[in-house]
Structure 1
Amino acid sequence: MVKTHLLYLHGFRSSPQSTKAQTMARCVQAQYPQVIWWCPQLPASPRQAIDMLLQGVADWPRDQMALMGSSLGGFYAAWLSAYLACPAVLINPAVHPSRDLARYIGQHPGWHDPAESIFFELAHLQELADLESQPSPTSPETLALIAQGDEVLDWREMFARHQAGQVRLIEGSDHALSDFEIYLPQILEFLRLA
């Protein structure tokens, strides 16, 4: 079934102003103006983020919605994909964020607006661990774009976690997937936007 609603989730310290989010927003607006697009600023608390997202999509038709997420947003998108039974595109998705973000306790400037900052608390690691401990967030309706050149996350862990779905293993590239536009045709084909 074609998708009429698309949720995009940014990564840790990122924002709706990220290059990928903006590229996707422009693409949806230009090619699929009837599609409902939502790319919220996510709170630092994973529990608050999940609660906000579940509330935000509560009225969305499950069979007509899709998700996208990058890095920590990819972890959230994978979790939501399994929870809501809807397809998701995962871009270099975090696999063990409670482990990987342990060294980031404290205050950090945002990537796109250094005047804004987030405070990542120890409690947030437990919230991530709670999400990780729930049933496997791998859904067969996922497309994972995994860059072997990712300098932040281990591509082998991403591949092992998401191989039940479709995987596009990318030689080179980087964590931000700076060559994102190359993969837009495959992403759009997978999403089947209305």
Structure 2
Amino acid sequence: MKILYIHGAFSAFKPDSEKVKNLQKVFEVVGVSYSMETPYPENKAMLVQFCRDNGIDAVVGTSLGGLYAAEVSAELSIPAILINPCVEPVMSLSTIVGTMTNFATGKPETLTQEIVNTFPDTATMTQLCLVFVGMKDELINPSKTIFMCCHKATVVANHNADHYWDDFERNERILIHLDTTITA
């Protein structure tokens, strides 16, 4: 099964990240990087086209990548695994407008309010989404994430995980979700 891993804000796809390595124990994982300096519709279109061109079966996204994964999932009707997803992007991203160093590349990227305003107010949650929430998340309110996701998506809370959830490995739960959503 081929999975697209979508990174969070001010980062890039890192094949050697712990999350990717853990997913690779069971899945074929590929990635592509988006830019914080590019409007949301263009990034989303690029991710959707990447999925179409590369035969992607499911998407996994962390934080802002979780938003993109949810939206790609809704458009392509493929399963999504969301790890501490950004469920209110305009509100969340408005707090980090400015220039930051990309965690993966070390290069500066500038997020403007104009770019933020191209994002949807809320993420699209469907039954195709499995949402993992770290209850110690200090960047995205975990209780609000659960509230906003639980009506449509399946939500799994971890009381010991923070926003970065570096030791994330839930392949058995992911396999169950993929088995039920792909065969449904």
TM over 0.5: yes
Write the deviation string for residues 66-90 of structure 1: whole angstroms up to 9, x where unpaired: 1110000001111111121111000
Structure showing the higher helix proportion among its residues = 1
Indicate if the aligned counterparts of 1:16 and 1:22 stay in contact, CA closer than 8 A.
Answer: no
TM-score (ref. length: structure 2) = 0.84
Alignment coverage as a number of residue pairs: 176
Indicate if the aligned counterparts of 2:19 and 2:167 stay in contact, CA closer than 8 A.
Answer: no
Indicate if the aligned counterparts of 1:105 and 1:120 stay in contact, CA closer than 8 A.
Answer: yes
CA shift, 1:59, in A, is 3.9
Distance 1:104 1:111 in 2: 14
Name the counterpart of 2:128.
141
Distance 1:151 1:157 in 2: 12
**Alignment pair present for 1:161 and 2:152:** no
2:121 to 132, 136, 148: 132
Amino acid at match of 1:51: A
Distance 1:117 1:24 in 2: 28
1:32-181 alignment to 2 at 5 Å? 32=27, 35=28, 37-44=29-36, 45=38, 46-59=40-53, 65-114=57-106, 116-128=107-119, 131-132=120-121, 137-163=124-150, 164-181=152-169
| Unpaired stretches in structure 1, ≥5 consecutive residues | none
| Unpaired stretches in structure 2, ≥5 consecutive residues | none
Amino acid at match of 2:121: E
CA shift, 1:60, in A, is 5.3
Write the deviation string for residues 54-112 of structure 1: whole angstroms up to 9, x where unpaired: 22123455xx7111100000011111111211110000001111111113222210113
Indicate if the aligned counterparts of 2:135 and 2:160 stay in contact, CA closer than 8 A.
Answer: yes
Write the deviation string for residues 35-71 of structure 1: whole angstroms up to 9, x where unpaired: 4x3211111122221021122123455xx71111000
RMSD of the alignment, in Å?
Answer: 2.2
Q: Which aligned runs of 4 or more in structure 1 are off by greater than 3 angstroms?
A: none
Distance 1:40 1:21 in 2: 15
CA shift, 1:25, in A, is 5.6
Identity, % of aligned positions: 24
1:10 to 7, 10, 24: 7
Name the counterpart of 2:20.
22
Task: Tell which deviates more after alignment, 97-106 or 69-78.
Answer: 97-106
Task: Tell which deviates more after alignment, 8-17 or 37-46.
Answer: 37-46
Amino acid at match of 1:179: D
